Structure 1
Amino acid sequence: MIEMPPLQFAQTNGIRMGFYEAGPATDKPPVILCHGWPEIAFSWRHQIKALSEAGIRVIAPDQRGYGSTDRPEPVEAYDIEHLTGDLVGLLDHLKIDKAVFVGHDWGGFVVWQMPLRHIDRVAGVVGINTPHVKRAWADPIELLRKRFGEHMYIVQFQDPAREPDRIFGSRVEQTFDAFMRKPVPRPVTAPDEQVVAGVGASPRLNLAFPQMIAGYDAKHDPRTPILSPEERQVFVDTFKSTGFTGGINWYRNMSRNWQRSADLDHTVHVPSLMIMAENDQVLPPSSADGMEKLVPDLEKYLVRGSGHWIQQEKPEEVSAKLIEWRRRRFG
């Protein structure tokens, strides 16, 4: 198993954030790797090793609510203003002027927001699986409820009384056994597939994740695990300690984020790269269609044969593309 660099801590934006750093301190601009749900900085272990060995300074935080980083109680403490502010504070702590921000899954949503809110701290952005989309025409939770129903996991996450936090927290091994697997190849994109509030998925996909986990038995799952037993144990031990509420609280701010972004220019004015996974069933490559209208300086790259956990499923290809693009665009 790849060893992580030593865990360090930064006081940022009112919390203590744990992070890992590797590569030469003189390299500019450094690369900040932002994980998604339910993940931690360890998700980037392959990229930390590859980028640092290529002479690139790389930093991977456990983001607010996850792993070694603080988990504030108020739900509102997890809105996009706090999440982007945490990264600005991390730069301040490390005395970094600008960075290239790379984000996967929810981390992708955060890094696309960085140049909209903190343009002076952003050299470039890389979205992995997660596209940058225009502001939804209505509250995203209502759009998701209308399209996918009450059992869609993001809709369920809005109501703590429905206990998604408890379901995941009491079945940590099942959660990672079920999620961290290579997908069955997806069919040709259906004509009715579209992006809703940044989530592109067919209505035929089972998105009732809490119920899926509650009834899951790995013995009957034909899909191939992505993680080794040792890697799986890192995730299991971490989430047994922290629970899932911090990460789920990011979802509980989707309506708040939408409401507070009405006056924001959603155009991204920095060099950008979109890495897409051919077989991601929740964020398919089609969800990035038309991004060029909002991101004028955009390159796209498709990783074939990969599902959602792309940086762990196809680590060499993802790392190689990040290294190539970073060198070509920033020296």
Structure 2
Amino acid sequence: MNFPEPHYVDTNGLKMAVYEQGPKNGVPVVMCHGFPEIAYSWRHQIPAIAKAGFRAIAPDQRGYGNTGGPKGKESIPLYDIAHLTDDLAGMLDALELDKAVFAGHDWGGIVVWQMALRHPDRVAGVIGVNTPFMPRGPIDPVEGMRAVFGEDMYIVYFQQFGAAESVFDKDVARSMRFWYRKSAMKLADFDKLPAEEKNFSFIKSFAADESEWPGEQLLNAEEIDYYTRAFQKSGFEGGINWYRNFTRNWKDSESLVEKVNAPSLMISAADDIVLRPEMTEGMEQYVPDLEKQVIPDCGHWTQSEKPEELNTLMVDWLKRRFG
């Protein structure tokens, strides 16, 4: 695949790797990846959005790929949501752009919805891919997940500095093969499983023999190699640090007005067991100008699992709202 080479911009103490295609005078569409991903996760969307006349922009975000970021336990607070959104605002400054449409998947979805709250003057529109707008809950989210799912739930486990990254860094290619798999079951079948099989204890699954991992391999050898080289360079620590800021972000967001005033598109995946389509119910209360779509027969890795369907929905909405 002819994926663009990065150029680098200075933003918020980082040299951020930015990948671009499309006309410089096109409406900018910034695509934000999740965990464990990089700008390359948008490799199918970037050319489609560029071909439609938009300026497609995808950064390797803080802690990831060719951007990288600070290391060490003391650097955890440097991965909070304020830093992640400030990074993107600074990237727009460096590119001399007033505002952009922001699209985000997984953790990138959290970031782009927060961009609309924290930097509303820089956000022309929002596209959530799998990740809905999630209003601030009444309790610390990590404590809530611990109470419901226990210590083995991956986000709870990730709170231990050095633990998960040492597991994934040990054999990066194996880690990539573990994460990038098609959904092994429909959401309805997952819901029928006993509770002890629904606690998202991915580390236990990772420890099993590779032949026992559920779901088909999603990526080809070239794609696995690209991801492997990126995570061999950056390691997993920075990306996992995003999770270590759930509590800090929750405390920090107490005074935020939870209203997204930009036009927004929410694209769910019918069989994403973590970011379930029903999580979008009631979003209109916080995101008044909202369209919702669901891609059938699709698990978590929407950009790779159903690239054509996702491209069609994104481009159609972009043309209608910003063409």
Distance 1:216 1:89 in 2: 43
For the Cα contact (< 8 Å) 1:174–1:216, is it kept in 2? no
The alignment's TM-score, normalised by the length of structure 1, stands at 0.93
3-state SS of paired residue (1:188): helix
**Offset at residue 299 of structure 1 (A):** 0.5
3-state SS of paired residue (1:112): helix
**Offset at residue 174 of structure 1 (A):** 2.2
3-state SS of paired residue (1:182): coil
| TM-aligned CA distance change 1:280 to 1:203, over 3 Å | farther
Equivalent position of 1:160 in the other structure: 161
For the Cα contact (< 8 Å) 1:178–1:216, is it kept in 2? no
Distance 2:199 2:225 in 1: 26
Equivalent position of 1:182 in the other structure: 182
**Aligned ranges 1:212-251 → 2 under 5 Å:** 212-217=205-210, 219-221=211-213, 223-251=215-243
| TM-aligned CA distance change 1:189 to 1:266, over 3 Å | farther
For the Cα contact (< 8 Å) 1:17–1:62, is it kept in 2? yes
For the Cα contact (< 8 Å) 1:171–1:214, is it kept in 2? no
3-state SS of paired residue (1:300): strand
**Offset at residue 266 of structure 1 (A):** 1.1
**Aligned ranges 1:1-331 → 2 under 5 Å:** 2-28=1-27, 30-73=28-71, 74-160=75-161, 163-188=163-188, 204-217=197-210, 219-221=211-213, 223-331=215-323
For the Cα contact (< 8 Å) 1:31–1:59, is it kept in 2? yes
For the Cα contact (< 8 Å) 1:20–1:59, is it kept in 2? yes
CA RMSD of aligned residues (A): 1.7
For the Cα contact (< 8 Å) 1:168–1:213, is it kept in 2? no
Q: Give deviations 1:15-54, integer Å, cap 9, x for gaps.
A: 11001011000112x1000000000000000001111122
Distance 1:15 1:25 in 2: 23
**Offset at residue 211 of structure 1 (A):** 2.5
For the Cα contact (< 8 Å) 1:133–1:294, is it kept in 2? no
Q: Give deviations 1:155-199, integer Å, cap 9, x for gaps.
A: 1111115x111001113222221221111232428889xxxxxxx
Q: Where in structure 2 are there 5+ consecutive unaligned residues?
A: none
The alignment's TM-score, normalised by the length of structure 2, stands at 0.95
What is the total number of aligned residue pairs between the two structures? Answer: 319
Distance 1:204 1:138 in 2: 25
| TM-aligned CA distance change 1:318 to 1:187, over 3 Å | closer
**Offset at residue 241 of structure 1 (A):** 2.0
Letter in 2 for 1:16: K
Distance 2:68 2:37 in 1: 15
Distance 1:53 1:190 in 2: 38
| TM-aligned CA distance change 1:177 to 1:70, over 3 Å | closer
Distance 2:47 2:216 in 1: 24
**Offset at residue 124 of structure 1 (A):** 0.4
**Offset at residue 210 of structure 1 (A):** 2.1
For the Cα contact (< 8 Å) 2:130–2:266, is it kept in 1? yes
**Offset at residue 222 of structure 1 (A):** 5.8
Letter in 1 for 2:141: P
Farther-moved stretch of structure 1 (166-175 vs 107-116) = 166-175
3-state SS of paired residue (2:267): strand
